[in-house]
């Protein structure tokens, strides 16, 4: 049985060595060794078992040798006792023979001496044999201890390889945990959006310009005006296309077109034109902040402070301004009232209609509430800002004709003091 196991282990050992060189091996088309890692484990395991099998045979042989030694010792003791009895009997015979014949006694004494010397010699030779056998036993024990120590060394190697496997498994488990953790923030964000009444999911269906979008919310279309940002005009009814306006629109289309975004409301949910007023976040980043940081927009339209993200957006604008990015690269292009083109010239003040009696200019602006003949724009028409007016007086008249200061549908009175466009 031991020989058969030794043969099987030898075959596996040789197969493992071949697999280490080739990278894989199908032993007798029954035992697959797919890679070098498996071959390494198989090589270590077979070497350990092969080293153990001879130890078992040696232990059996040493046991049999011990039994033989004990039998030999017992037999030697028996022979010595028998010789002692023979000596005693011979002594008695010699004592009896002394009385009868002196020659016989002398001969018997000589024979007894010869017997004693031969017995001593035999006992000495047996003692020497016992010593030699003990020395051999000690040598065998030393060899077995050395073999056991080598086996334990191989076992430690096996343990180290198993420890390496455990480490690899631990690293894989840790990586799976990290991936599960990395996926969990997205779930947390979606749950936050669902639980926060000031946040709402939407899908961008159209980018009107840099700061205006059309979105789909639960299958319904709506318009969104980005909070606290103002990009140059591209589709204003009375203004030309302003510098960096097309670039801002292209940037918005690149980032937002067709994307799912998060709308965050801060203050009044809708503005004058019934548009949603919101911060827009895409992939977890604020698009309002992107426009300011990249120099596509200015920080503007602060109508209902305080705002949650005001400081963050101001910091983004100041960084773009310090780096002279885009709108900030043109001197005197960005003002508190909007963007001023170099080729733009102030619109001439409309000439007053001829009247029989001239009236002061100020009363004309005050009386403009009753009619719009002297105003350049219709107060109930499209949204206007300070850049649309050539003077503060005209802007003030337009503001009052639109219902100011009680009502400011065009958001011209940013400070709420009843005076508009004071920079003109």
**Residues classed as catalytic:** 225, 233, 275
Q: Answer left, alpha or beta for residue 324, where phi above 0 means left and psi between -120 and 50 means alpha.
A: left
* Integer CA distances (angstroms), 379 to 304, 362, 414, in order: 22, 18, 17
For Cα atoms 397, 357, 393, give the angle at the middle one, nearest 5 degrees.
15
Contacts of 232 (CB under 8 A, 6+ apart): 210, 241, 242, 243, 244, 245, 248, 327, 339
How many C-beta atoms surround the C-beta of residue 204 within 10 A? 22
At CB < 8 A and 24+ separation, what contacts does 47-50 make? 47/13, 47/154, 48/151, 48/154, 48/155, 48/158, 49/5, 49/9, 50/6, 50/9, 50/10, 50/13
């Amino acid at each position: 049985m031991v020989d058969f196991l030794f043969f099987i282990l030898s075959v596996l050992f040789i197969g493992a060595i071949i697999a280490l060189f080739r990278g894989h091996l199908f032993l007798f088309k029954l035992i697959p060794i797919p890679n070098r890692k498996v071959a390494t484990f198989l090589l270590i395991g077979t070497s350990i078992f092969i080293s153990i099998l001879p130890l078992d045979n040696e232990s059996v042989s040493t046991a049999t040798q011990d039994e033989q030694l004990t039998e030999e010792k017992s037999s030697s003791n028996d022979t010595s006792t028998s010789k002692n009895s023979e000596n005693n009997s011979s002594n008695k015979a010699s004592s009896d023979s002394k009385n009868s014949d002196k020659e016989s006694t002398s001969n018997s004494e000589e024979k007894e001496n010869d017997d004693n010397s031969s017995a001593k010699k035999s006992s000495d030779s047996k003692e020497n044999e016992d010593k030699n056998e003990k020395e051999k036993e000690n040598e065998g024990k030393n060899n077995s201890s050395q073999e056991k120590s080598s086996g334990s060394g191989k076992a430690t190697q096996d343990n180290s390889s198993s420890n390496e496997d455990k480490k690899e498994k631990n690293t894989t488990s840790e990586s799976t945990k990290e991936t599960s953790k990395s996926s969990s923030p997205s779930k947390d964000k979606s749950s936050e959006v669902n639980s926060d009444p000031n946040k709402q999911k939407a899908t961008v269906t159209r980018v009107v310009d840099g700061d205006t979008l059309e979105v789909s919310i639960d299958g319904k279309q709506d318009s969104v005006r980005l909070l606290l940002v103002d990009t140059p005009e591209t589709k204003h009814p009375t203004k030309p296309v302003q510098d960096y306006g097309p670039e801002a629109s292209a940037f918005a289309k690149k980032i937002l077109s067709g994307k799912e975004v998060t709308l965050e409301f801060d203050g009044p949910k809708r503005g004058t034109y019934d548009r949603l007023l919101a911060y827009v976040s895409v992939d977890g980043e604020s698009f309002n902040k992107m426009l300011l940081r990249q120099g596509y927009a200015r920080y503007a339209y602060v109508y209902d402070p305080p705002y949650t993200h005001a400081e963050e957006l101001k910091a983004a604008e100041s960084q773009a301004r310090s780096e002279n990015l885009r709108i900030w690269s043109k001197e005197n292009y960005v003002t508190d009232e909007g963007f001023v083109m170099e080729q733009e010239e102030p619109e001439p003040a409309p000439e007053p209609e001829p009247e029989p009696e001239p009236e002061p200019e100020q009363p004309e602006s005050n009386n403009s509430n009753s009619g719009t003949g002297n105003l350049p724009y219709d107060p109930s028409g499209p949204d206007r800002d300070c850049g649309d007016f050539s003077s503060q007086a005209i802007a003030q008249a337009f503001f009052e004709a639109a219902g100011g200061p009680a009502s400011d549908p065009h958001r011209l009175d940013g400070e709420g003091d009843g005076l508009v466009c004071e920079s003109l």
